[in-house]
Chains A and B, each alone.
Chain A
């Protein structure tokens, strides 16, 4: 699996869209075929994947409520999504 290195600047793949599912009251990542259900932390992380911030910067920028999230967990989460083609890891 390709986990983001420290210098990589993750970005949502162009065919995905971060959204809030009002009917079911939860965050989702939408693609043409799939609906990926996210917890609040996942949504917060993906909301910061703008292709500008590095992984370290994403972890640092998380809202106070999510601050305790370990960088390793974020890296793993993004690695999974990258392997599935939902996140691009652009080296910066």
Chain B
């Protein structure tokens, strides 16, 4: 059996922002009983033993965990490549230096737009200036800087300006990733999904920028799967390369599988190696044996693994169906209808606005994070 390369550690679902595209689960009540520092350290030991080489520290907002430095130091000592995925809120100068010293390899800061008004409106909290300060801090400490931007109807027309900002900040890489429709993003889909015309413009801008910035800044552009003919090879296959540990210790083959109806597996009850090798949740969609038609007899079944199980579940209620994004899926109309609605909006002056977006709420009953001092 393949061994996993990457562990996504979702340390907490607490977060000071309220992005309406947040892929975190809607119901956060089950995840408040978070793993302790010692439990995370054990998870890292077991993951490294199992073959994991990359650790992604995420959430929620990982900086909300006061023990982030300790966890990072432990991972570094194991030789793991450590990557912090953060909104940057809470990345004060002191905190950053501490993490640098603990061996953190790489920082990815998400920004919502190229300017404060829109960025803060999307984030639901004044945060744009703090993100810029933190991005400059990352560069000052000589860390590689990757910016993450989740693209949607409300910011996809601004890619050129977002790239200008990235250049000004000295980003080494920028990941422009179209929204994936899980969690709050699915709830807000009709207001987030861009139109076909927007996508075509975006691709032109990205192509030109790649040429212009060649050798200076790497641009990673993740296409929206709703507009693709075939689904994405989700996670490189279920239980094949990656695993996710969520704040309460549950282990999932992918970071959006919380609601897929499979038996839970927790690091509090089983060793990680058993969970990877034998747990029902990891076995469920491994390989191709579970596949229905049209996947079962399709040439692409080893390329895209039938697409995303979570998306199949969320759209059809059955995780074992072909991903409806696929044009060969009998459920494709579910996706096609959403794309049509986004691309041919009702006539009127409201073109572009779409339905109002519901902000992702703060989790309860965990107390509100205390404000970080500005640096």
Residues on A facing B (Cβ under 8 Å): 2, 13-15, 17, 19-24, 28, 30-32, 35, 85
Contact = CB atoms under 8 A, between A and B. Distances in A.
Contact of B172 (A2, A14, A28, A35): A14
B218 A35 contact: no
Contacts of A21: 51, 53
24 contacts: A13-B144, A14-B144, A14-B172, A15-B106, A17-B81, A17-B105, A19-B81, A21-B53, A22-B79, A23-B50, A23-B51, A24-B3, A24-B51, A30-B54, A30-B81, A32-B54, A32-B56, A32-B81, A32-B83, A32-B106, A32-B108, A32-B146, A35-B5, A35-B53
B173 interface: yes
A15 B143 CA distance: 8
B3 A15 contact: no
A85 to B, nearest CB: 5
Given A19-B81, A32-B106, A35-B5, A85 B218 contact: yes
A35 B7 CA distance: 13
A49 B82 CA distance: 22
A22 B47 CA distance: 12
B39 interface: no
Classify the interface of chain A: helix, strand, loop or mixed: loop
Contacts of A13: 144, 172
A1 to B, nearest CB: 12
Assign chain B's interface to a size class. 20 to 34
A15 B175 CA distance: 14
Contacts of B143: 14
Given A32-B83, A32-B146, A85-B218, A15 B105 contact: yes
A17 to B, nearest CB: 5
B302 interface: no
Contacts of B50: 23
Contacts of B108: 32
A30 B79 CA distance: 11
A86 B142 CA distance: 17
Contacts of B3: 23-24
A15 B144 contact: yes
Contacts of A15: 105-106, 144, 146, 172-173
A14 B142 CA distance: 9
B237 to A, nearest CB: 15
Nearest to A2: B215
Given A15-B146, A23-B51, A30-B53, 19 more contacts: A14-B144, A14-B172, A15-B144, A15-B172, A15-B173, A19-B53, A19-B79, A22-B79, A23-B3, A23-B50, A24-B51, A30-B105, A31-B81, A32-B54, A32-B81, A32-B83, A32-B108, A32-B146, A35-B5
A23 B146 CA distance: 29
A81 B146 CA distance: 19
A38 to B, nearest CB: 13
Contact of A28 (B48, B53, B56, B218): B53
Contact of A23 (B49, B54, B142, B144): B49
A34 to B, nearest CB: 9
A2 B23 CA distance: 39
Q: Which of B49, B53, B108 has the most CB of A within 10 A?
A: B53
B138 to A, nearest CB: 11
Interface string B1-31: 0010100000000000000000000000000
The 7 closest A-B pairs by CB, nearest first: A23-B51, A15-B144, A30-B81, A14-B144, A32-B83, A85-B218, A35-B5
Nearest to B218: A85
Contacts of B105: 15, 17, 30
Nearest to A30: B81
Contacts of A85: 173, 218
Contacts of A30: 53-54, 81, 105
